[in-house]
Amino acid sequence: MAFYHCLLFDVDGTLLDFHASEDAAIRETLAYFSLPNDETAIEKYRTINDSLWAALERGEIRQEKLVVQRFASFLQEYGADGDPVKINDHYLTTLSEHAETFPGAADALKELAEVATIAVVSNGVERVQSGRLERSGLGDMFDGIFISGRVGASKPSRRIFDYALDKLGVDNRAKVLVIGDSLKADIAGGNNAGLATCWCNFTNAELPEKGVKPTYTIQNYDELLHIVMEEEELLNVGNPEKRHQFPIVQ
């Protein structure tokens, strides 16, 4: 029987390579509206966007305002004309069409779904995340998809985790593992909710001496399997004729 019976996954930077998707979508969007789209402009957009998402995590701005404000600020920075609402709409549509997965993510989810309830808990925009998960082929693997815009709460608030666990019917919080790449959103959020956490450190970054601490750290999905599964279950990994025979216990 698996060590953890419920796994709550982040999306961007965890299952899907958001940086590759974002880069393609923002370049296409800026070019479409004849706005500056050289490397300096791309970096300026990212700085504005990152600062607004950090404000969201601190509870200082709502998501529906954030997604428009980033383009309003970008236009102001360059003294350019444009409708930030239309630019954002085009960007979100374009972004939803890009869904590059991290190596090993799909195979790991197939194995983990055999031994645990698996779900998504994401701060992303609903139509973007739903579209990207569907396009990636991962969407049908989950028992639940909980996105902040729909739930009305964002990570690192414990409310979004409480909501997800309630809807999934999971009571034993000691058997729940939060998996994500953001220390400020995923790991801090899991800590706030009293849940074990796994930091996806795919870029081999250093863990700050001060701040939130994850229960586990992984650099690839094979390591996640070894955290979640017991030895008997690991023996069945990759063998389609001998699936895991252990019941899911919540």
Query: What are the pLDDT digits (tens) for 74-113?
Result: 999 999 999 999 999 999 999 888 888 999 999 999 999 9
Query: 134: Cβ–Cβ under 8 A, 6 or more apart, which residues?
Result: none
The reply to whether 109 and 214 lie within a common domain is yes
The reply to whether 91 and 136 lie within a common domain is no
Q: Rounded to an integer, what distance in angstroms lies between the CA atom of residue 63 and that of residue 198? A: 25
- Does a structural domain hold residue 147? yes
The reply to whether 88 and 109 lie within a common domain is no
Q: Rounded to an integer, what distance in angstroms lies between the CA atom of residue 48 and that of residue 238? A: 43
- Does a structural domain hold residue 242? no
Burial zone of 249 (CB within 10 Å; 0-12 exposed, 13-18 middle, 19+ buried): exposed
Query: What are the pLDDT digits (tens) for 132-164?
Result: 899 899 999 999 999 998 898 999 999 999 999
- Does a structural domain hold residue 73? yes
The reply to whether 121 and 212 lie within a common domain is yes
Q: Please state whether beta strands 117-122 and 6-9 pair in parallel, antiparallel, or not at all (unpaired).
A: parallel
- Does a structural domain hold residue 187? yes
- Does a structural domain hold residue 212? yes
Query: What are the pLDDT digits (tens) for 195-246?
Result: 999 999 999 999 988 889 999 999 999 999 999 999 888 988 877 665 544 4
Q: HSE of 96 in the Cβ direction (CA atoms, 13 Å)?
A: 15
pLDDT at 247 over 90: no
The reply to whether 10 and 29 lie within a common domain is no
Which DSSP state fits 96? T
Q: Please state whether beta strands 176-180 and 196-200 pair in parallel, antiparallel, or not at all (unpaired).
A: parallel
Q: What is the total count of domains within the chain?
A: 2
Contact 234, 226 (CB under 8 A): yes
Q: Please tell me the predicted confidence (pLDDT) of residue 100.
A: 84
**Helix or strand (DSSP H, E) at 39:** helix 39-57
The reply to whether 159 and 44 lie within a common domain is no
What is the span of the domain harbouring residue 53?
18-95
Q: Is the pTM of this model over 0.95?
A: no
The CATH number assigned to the domain holding 90 equals 1.10.150.240
> Residue 44 CB: number of other CB atoms within 10 A?
16
Percent over 70 (pLDDT), the chain: 95
Left, alpha or beta for 119 (phi > 0: left; psi -120 to 50: alpha)? beta
Name the residues annotated as catalytic. 10
> Residue 107 CB: number of other CB atoms within 10 A?
14
The reply to whether 141 and 218 lie within a common domain is yes
